[in-house]
Amino acid sequence: MTLSLSEVLEQIGERAASASRILSQATTAEKNEALLAIARRIEQETPAILAANEADLQVGARNGLGSAMLDRARLDPKRIQTIAKSVREVVHLTDPVGEVLREWSRPNGLKISKRRVPIGVIGIIYESRPNVTSDAASLCLKAGNAVILRGGSEAIRSNMALAEAVGDGCKDAGLPEYSVQLVPSTDRAAVTLMAQLDRYIHLIIPRGGRSLIEAVTAAARMPVIKHFDGICAAYVDRSADLQMAERIVVNAKCQRPGVCNAVETLLVHEEIARRFLPDCAGALWEQGVDLRGDSLTREILGSKVLPATEEDWRTEYLDLTLAVKTVRSLDEAVDHIETYGSHHSDAIITEDPLAAQEFLNRVDSATVFWNASTRFNDGAEFGFGAEIGISTDRLHARGPMGLEELTSYKYLVVGTGQVKG
Amino acid sequence: MTLSLSEVLEQIGERAASASRILSQATTAEKNEALLAIARRIEQETPAILAANEADLQVGARNGLGSAMLDRARLDPKRIQTIAKSVREVVHLTDPVGEVLREWSRPNGLKISKRRVPIGVIGIIYESRPNVTSDAASLCLKAGNAVILRGGSEAIRSNMALAEAVGDGCKDAGLPEYSVQLVPSTDRAAVTLMAQLDRYIHLIIPRGGRSLIEAVTAAARMPVIKHFDGICAAYVDRSADLQMAERIVVNAKCQRPGVCNAVETLLVHEEIARRFLPDCAGALWEQGVDLRGDSLTREILGSKVLPATEEDWRTEYLDLTLAVKTVRSLDEAVDHIETYGSHHSDAIITEDPLAAQEFLNRVDSATVFWNASTRFNDGAEFGFGAEIGISTDRLHARGPMGLEELTSYKYLVVGTGQVKG
């Protein structure tokens, strides 16, 4: 008897719920044991994983996938070694489960404590990169959660092989083999069915492009934590140290332009624009950056700078392109960021502490920087060890999402027979 | 020119977003001033509010609304006084905004701090009781959020009158008059349109019955925090102090049976069932409780106890009815709660600390109690001062939801010119 897709998902959901009850009670030692076993299994199964990946790549090439996508899906022995290493690194992260977040007593003698507990079952829907299979799973597992994964079709065989190694590792260590499950279907309907499985799944995290995130958000009945665009800005204030400003702007734009915490917009106070822009533009041009600017910027820098359109202010280039705007005040800078930015990472460069304070208070972004590059908005840079992404949402998790953000809490109330009067 | 419903909601959303930017920067004194002004306005406008309410009640009666619903919608001078008093009480609650949740430095010298900030714009969708208009609004406001309210049709005129007083109060105190807005339509489509306004609304809280909550959850594109059923259990362990157990069970069932933290299920360890049940049932019968039981319970208590069906274990009676089951072990009690309960409030009564510890760890509910009544799962009883409800969700807010749960956070990173290497 073959199960329908919806029956398959129901079964996966039930198994995840039952695994999560055991995982929520697992000790740190048991979870670490499982992570080490998973890393070993991934290493042992390298030939099988590579063979599965080869099959994915052949099918992908036949189906006309672009070379960028094929490259993202490609594994080799070194990449598998890196995958195993990432799993082992999670062993060293502090287990957040059980932490007492707050403890207090009430006048009637009740003792209340607020404790960190796992969320339960987490669904991860992702595209292309097979390493997400083990990276996301190991973080969720360390926080005591069961995981249901749904990867993209271009890596389905690789993901299956990796997920099998992960499940076997869990079993080796005495944890439920269904702690981590992969939806064995590339049918798009599986995403919708998963998004409606709120009886079992407590949180869905889509990792991928805008269309994937929007489809999941529209269909989901459970909470979704999104990792959306980074339309980030650096504002160079009139009181900025201009050399520092140039260093930060070049770093925030060029150090890795394809990521969400790179800046897409440069805002420059009019008063220092003529002193700042020529040098800064020179340094950016040296790195191959293409500039678009407002009229004063173009007056200062010349026609090499194309006019920035309304569209430019809203664009996440993810590339060596930067939109430049001069502003008459800090107010105008903040308004621009609030109007066009994506509330991700924004920086002010200034030596004036009052201006900095105002910017930090008023700019409503996950992380706001004073005299530092926006590229530091990152779990590792924050000291979280690893991250599942950078949340652009405001509820539960905002900014870098580490192990703590993969937990919930519950209240324990201890009495001596108290009843409500 | 009249606006379409969707244009009206767009305008409300824009105004709320703009108000929320100002509210997020408001000082505690400014917000308290506004709360006092709101209370004054509500008192001054008592005649207008009562006239609006009288019109609601007349229309309701003509439309055949039941007396329970009419009673929930009814206002009188005393109820309005209570409403104004509730608003004033919020003045005394600690403003959560600006609290430093964590502060640390990184080896590269960056100083990171995690600060509490308002969520932004909160949507509240509710039924019948007009006091929600000012209660929910004043809590959201104190936490620096703008609010969009959508009340039920049975109290639309009362809600409009109250919302006008609230908006006038905000204006009196120099805060934006659009800090609190009521959707001026009882069209069901307004709920769906509001649930899709994720460009402006960051969180929706539905307050009402299951069908309202499910409709909002299905339509919403933004996070929803639900306040669902309380299918709560008390487990009387074999090592319980039986007199204490009886006191707690009677309180948890009878002190206010119509609320979510009242117990619906009594689980009794077999070993003490014959000693415990007759006295406890006597006390419950004295309070008019109707018992349903499994076969051993009926053997002990007689045929006055109807047989409990599978349905009984899943029912939130919200009434003087209690389902009673004997269990062979703590394990069986935990399994029953995990299978049938709603993860709201569950209690163990025992003198055995190991049994208590196991129950508290394993029962996956918002609040778990040891030797205390489940009726204490409540914001006021926790010392939160006031609550917007008791969340049955696991993300962002779980259990009693007070002012802190109406906030988000952001990271402030202060450097001295650091760039990423």
pLDDT digits (tens, 9 = 90+) for B164-177: 999 999 999 999 99
| Residue B419 included in any domain | no
Mean pLDDT, all residues of chain B? 95
| Residue B386 included in any domain | no
A178, with CB counted inside 10 A (0-12, 13-18, 19+), is buried
pLDDT of A165: 96
B218 membership: H or E segment, kind and range? helix B210-219
Structure tokens at A417: 């027979």
| Residue A144 included in any domain | yes
Whether B200 and B238 map to the same domain: the answer is no
| Residue B395 included in any domain | no
What CATH number is attached to the domain comprising B252?
A: 3.40.309.10
DSSP state of A93: S
Q: E strands within B178-299?
A: 180-182, 203-207, 232-236, 263-269, 290-293
| Residue A394 included in any domain | no
Of A377, A394, A417, the CB nearest to B408: A394
pLDDT of A65: 86
Of B255, B365, B367, the CB nearest to A420: B255
Look at A418 and B376 and tell me if their CB atoms are within 8 Å.
Answer: yes
Q: Is the pLDDT of residue A2 over 70?
A: yes
Whether B354 and B409 map to the same domain: the answer is no
pLDDT digits (tens, 9 = 90+) for B46-80: 999 999 999 999 999 999 988 888 888 899 999 99
pLDDT of B67: 84
Complex ipTM value? 0.94
pLDDT of B210: 85
Dihedral-angle region of residue B226 (phi above 0 means left; psi in -120 to 50 means alpha; beta otherwise): beta
pLDDT of B1: 65
**Other Cβ atoms within 10 Å of B290 Cβ, number:** 14
Contact A408, B364 (CB under 8 A): no
- Tell me, rounded to whole angstroms, the distance of Cα B41 from its chain centroid: 26
Q: How far is CA B331 from CA B272, B327, B337, B362, in A?
A: 16, 9, 10, 9
Question: Which residues of chain A neighbour B356 with C-beta distances below 8 Å?
Answer: 414
Residue B402 to residue B391: CA distance in whole angstroms: 10
pLDDT digits (tens, 9 = 90+) for A78-88: 999 999 999 99
Total domain count, chain A: 2
Whether B83 and B21 map to the same domain: the answer is yes
| Residue B319 included in any domain | yes
pLDDT of A386: 80
Residue B380 to residue A287: CA distance in whole angstroms: 59
Look at A399 and B419 and tell me if their CB atoms are within 8 Å.
Answer: no
**Other Cβ atoms within 10 Å of A147 Cβ, number:** 29
Over range B181-201, report the average pLDDT.
93
Please, which residues 99-128 of chain B have a Cβ atom closer than 8 Å to chain A? 104, 106, 110, 112, 117, 119-120
| Residue B393 included in any domain | no
Of all residues in chain B, the percent with pLDDT exceeding 70 is 100
Intra-chain end-to-end CA distance of chain A, in Å: 58
Site from B410, B412, B414 to mutate, A interface, most A CB atoms within 10 angstroms: B410
pLDDT of B186: 86
Whether A153 and A276 map to the same domain: the answer is no
Sheet holding B146-150, edge to edge: B180-182, B146-150, B121-126, B203-207
Whether B254 and B290 map to the same domain: the answer is yes
Whether B219 and B237 map to the same domain: the answer is no
pLDDT digits (tens, 9 = 90+) for B80-119: 999 999 999 999 999 999 999 999 999 999 999 999 999 9
**Domain hosting residue A351, numbered range:** 232-381
- If we measure between CA atoms, which residue out of A376, A341, A372 comes closest to residue A245? A372
Whether A359 and A331 map to the same domain: the answer is yes
Of all residues in chain A, the percent with pLDDT exceeding 70 is 100
| CA–CA min distance B49, chain A (Å) | 33
| Residue B390 included in any domain | no
Angle at B341 between CA A409 and CA B378, to 5 degrees: 50
pLDDT of A129: 84
pLDDT of B55: 97
Residue B395 to residue A203: CA distance in whole angstroms: 8
Whether B166 and B288 map to the same domain: the answer is no
Over range B399-411, report the average pLDDT.
96
| CA–CA min distance A56, chain B (Å) | 34
Q: Is the pLDDT of residue A280 over 70?
A: yes
pLDDT digits (tens, 9 = 90+) for B142-156: 999 999 999 998 999
A&B contacts, CB < 8 Å:
199
Whether A84 and A52 map to the same domain: the answer is yes
Helices B46-62 and B28-44: crossing angle in degrees, nearest 10, is: 60
Q: E strands within B277-385?
A: 290-293, 306-307, 321-327, 345-349, 367-372
- If we measure between CA atoms, which residue out of A249, A241, A323 comes closest to residue A283? A249
pLDDT digits (tens, 9 = 90+) for A139-186: 999 999 999 999 998 899 999 999 999 999 999 999 999 999 999 988
Q: Is the pLDDT of residue A209 over 90?
A: no
Q: Secondary structure of A95-116 in the HEC alphabet?
A: CCCCCEEEEEECCCCCEEEEEE
Question: Which residues of chain A neighbour B409 with C-beta distances below 8 Å?
Answer: 398
Strand-strand pairing, A203-207 and B399-401? unpaired
pLDDT band at B262 (very low <50, low <70, confident <90, very high): very high
Whether B213 and B276 map to the same domain: the answer is no
Contact A57, A74 (CB under 8 A): yes
Whether A210 and A318 map to the same domain: the answer is no
Beta carbons within 8 Å of A356's beta carbon, 6+ residues apart: A348, A350, A370, A371, B414
Over range B335-353, report the average pLDDT.
97
Q: How far is CA B282 from CA B246, B276, B289, in A?
A: 10, 10, 10
Question: Which residues of chain A neighbour B224 with C-beta distances below 8 Å?
Answer: 223
Q: Is the pLDDT of residue B44 over 70?
A: yes
pLDDT of A11: 97
Please, which residues 155-194 of chain B have a Cβ atom closer than 8 Å to chain A? none
Search chain B and give the residue with CA nearest A381. Answer: B106
B270 membership: H or E segment, kind and range? helix B270-286
Whether B56 and B192 map to the same domain: the answer is yes
pLDDT band at A1 (very low <50, low <70, confident <90, very high): low
Please, which residues 338-367 of chain A have a Cβ atom closer than 8 Å to chain B? 338, 356, 360-362, 364-367
**Other Cβ atoms within 10 Å of B280 Cβ, number:** 25
